[in-house]
Amino acid sequence: MRYSQLLLKTTKESKQFDSINATLLIKGGFIDQTMAGVYTFLPLGWRVLNKIENIVREEMDAIGAEMLMPTLSPRSLWEQTNRTGFDVLFEARGANKASLAKNDTAFIINPTHEELITPIVQKMKPSYKDLPFGVYQIQTKFRNEERPKSGLLRGREFRMKDLYSFHVSLESMQEYYEKAKEVYMNVFRRVGLGDDTYIVRASGGDFTKDFSHEFQTVCESGEDTIYVNDEGDGWNKEVATEEVQSSYTQHPASEVGNIFPLGTKFTKAFNYHFRHEDGQEKPVYMASYGIGTSRIMGVLVEKFHDERGIIWPDSVAPYTVYLAGLNGDDETIRNQADGVYKALQKAGIDVLYDDRNVSPGDKFGDADLLGIPWRVVVSKKTGGQIEVKRRTEQDNTLMSAEEFIKQVTN
C-alpha cells in the first residue's frame, strides 16, 4: 500500500487522551474517537484488528464452527432469562410515529448472545449424538458501561469473540472447558501476550456457584488486581482468600478473556432438553467463552510502546515493512524505491510505502509512531542497496533487497 493512498493522517499534536493506547492509536491514525467508548477503526487499525481476529479464528476453529448472530434481539428473550435488569443493556425502539406511540422497548442491542444461541440450538434439535459441539462468532458488542475509559480497554461498543458449547453432561462440559483453556493460551501466545497472561479463578457471577476463569494480562493500566504464584496458580482479587493475598504476587491486570461454566442456567430458562438414548429428557449443559479482541489491541499498545510510538508484535503489525524512499526529487532513487516496493510485494511481504514528498525526519517519525517491525530506507546514501532497521533496535544495516527478502520470509 502506498502511504499517499491510505486514509492515514498521523498528527504531531501532542493531545493526550485518557490512556496510552488511545493517545498513540489516535495520533497514529489507527482509530478515531466518535464519543467516549466509541471508536472507528481506520484502515491501519482495521488491519491490526483483523490480524488479531484471524489468529482467534484459526485457534477457535479447533473447537468450534464460526457463525454470525444478529445485533438486535427482541426484549422477550431477555425477559425469559430474567436479564432485563442487566445494567449495561442498551434498549432500542423505532423512531417513527407508530413505534413511538406504542411507547414500549421492542429491542435489545446485544451485549452478549446466550439469549440468542440457546433457542437457536434448541430449534435445531441436535440429538445426544450431535453433542458436544461449539459455535462461535466475532462481532461488535454493545454495553452501556458506566464509565467507558482507557481507550480500547473499555468501550461502549467493542469487538468480542464469543463461543458457546453444548453438552450432554457436566463431565463433557468440563472436558471441553479444559481444552478451551489451552486454545485460549495459544491465542494469547500468538498475539504476543503469552508471557504475561495468567488464568485466574474469578466469580461465576449470576451464572454459576463455581468459579469462572479469566485470562488476565499483567498491565499497569489494567482495571483488575490478580494474585499469582510461581506455579502459575492465579486468583482475581474479588475471590482471593487472605492467605492467597498474603503469599502470592500481586499484579495489576487487564482481562483479555473470560470463560464460564454456565451449566443449565440458560437451557433451563428456555426449557431446552435433549432426548437421551434411553428416551429420557435431560437438561443440556452449556458453557460460554469470550475474548475481547479490541481490548487485546489496546493492551498490546499499553504494553509495547516507547517514547516514540507503538511497537507491534510481528504477528499483528498492520504491515511488516515500512519503506521510506528519500530524495524523491531524484528520479534514479525514486525508481529504485519503486523497484524495492514491487519486489517486496511480489515476495508476499506486507509493505507500507511512504511515497510522500516530506522530510526524512517526518518519515522516520511515522515509521516509529506506527510501530511497523522493519524500516527500510532507499536514498542517495544507500548506493543501490537498502538500509534496514528493526523497530526495536537502534542500528541499521546495509544489504541488498534480495538479502532482506530472504531474511523476512524465513
The residue ranges that bind ligand ATP (CB under 6 A) are 112, 143, 145, 154-155, 158, 160, 255-258, 290, 292, 294-295
CB neighbourhood size of 260 (10 A): 23
Give, in degrees to the nearest 5, the angle at Cα 225 between 200 and 292: 65
405 binds, among Mg ion, ligand ATP, none (CB under 5 to 8 A by kind): none
Taking residue 264's Cβ as centre, other Cβ atoms within 10 Å add up to 17
Q: Is residue 258 involved in binding Mg ion (CB under 5 A)? A: yes
Q: Residue 110: name its binding partner from Mg ion, ligand ATP, none (Cβ under 5 to 8 Å by kind).
A: none
Binding partner selected for residue 256 from Mg ion, ligand ATP, none, CB under the kind-specific 5 to 8 Å limit: ligand ATP
Beta-carbon count within 10 A of 51 CB: 21
- What is d(CA 221, CA 252) in angstroms, rounded to the nearest whole number? 7
- DSSP three-state, residue 348: coil
Q: Which string of x and - marks every residue 26-65 that binds Mg ion (by CB under 5 A)?
A: ----------------------------------------
Q: Which three cell numbers stand for residue 207?
A: 451464572
Q: Which stretch binds Mg ion (CB under 5 A): 70-78, 163-171, 253-261, 302-310?
A: 253-261
Residue among 258 and 294 whose Cβ is closer to Mg ion: 258
Which among ligand ATP, Mg ion, none contacts residue 112 (Cβ within 5 to 8 A by kind)? ligand ATP
Nearer to ligand ATP, 21 or 294 (CB): 294
Of 165 and 258, nearer to Mg ion (C-beta) is 258
CB of 229 to ligand ATP, least distance (A): 22
- Distance in Å, CB of 79 to Mg ion, minimum: 24
Instruction: Supply the minimum distance, in Å, between the C-beta of residue 148 and ligand ATP.
Output: 7
The beta strands (E) that lie in 270-359 are given as: 273-275, 281-283, 285-292, 305-306, 309-310, 321-325, 351-354
Question: Closest separation between CB of residue 13 and Mg ion, Å?
Answer: 35
Half-sphere CA count of 250, side-chain side, radius 13 A: 12
- What Rg value do the Cα atoms of the chain yield, rounded? 25
If one asks whether residue 294 binds Mg ion (CB under 5 A), the answer comes out as no
Residue 158 touches which of ligand ATP, Mg ion, none (CB < 5 to 8 A by kind)?
ligand ATP
Q: How far is the CB of 304 from ligand ATP (least distance, A)?
A: 18
Helices (H), 35-169: 43-60, 75-80, 97-102, 114-124
Report the nearest approach of ligand ATP to the CB of residue 177 (Å): 14
Question: What residue 201 binds from Mg ion, ligand ATP, none (CB within 5 to 8 A, per partner kind)?
Answer: none
- Asked if 150 and 221 count as a contact pair (C-beta separation under 8 A), the reply is yes
Q: Does 336 bind Mg ion (CB under 5 A)?
A: no
Q: How far is the CB of 116 from ligand ATP (least distance, A)?
A: 14
Decide which of ligand ATP, Mg ion, none touches 145; Cβ closer than 5 to 8 Å per partner kind.
ligand ATP
Site size toward Mg ion (CB under 5 A) is 1
> In Å, how far are 48, 68, 144, 157, 246 from 294, measured between CA atoms?
10, 18, 16, 10, 33
**Distance between CA 198 and CA 185 in Å, rounded?**
9
Are the beta carbons of 272 and 118 closer than 8 angstroms?
A: yes
365 contact partners, CB below 8 Å, separation of at least 6? 10, 308
SS3 content of the chain, % helix, strand, coil (to 5): 35, 30, 35
Q: Which residues pair with 90 in a beta bridge?
A: 109
Cis peptide upstream of residue 360 (ω within 30 degrees of 0): no
Q: Residue 288 or residue 336: which is nearer to Mg ion going by CB?
A: 288
In the complex with ligand ATP, which residue's Cβ is closer, 155 or 373? Answer: 155
Least distance between ligand ATP and beta carbon 281 (Å): 30
236 lies in the site for Mg ion, by CB under 5 A: no
- Given Mg ion, ligand ATP, none, residue 28, with its beta carbon under 5 to 8 Å by kind, binds none
**Contacting residues toward Mg ion, per CB under 5 A:** 258
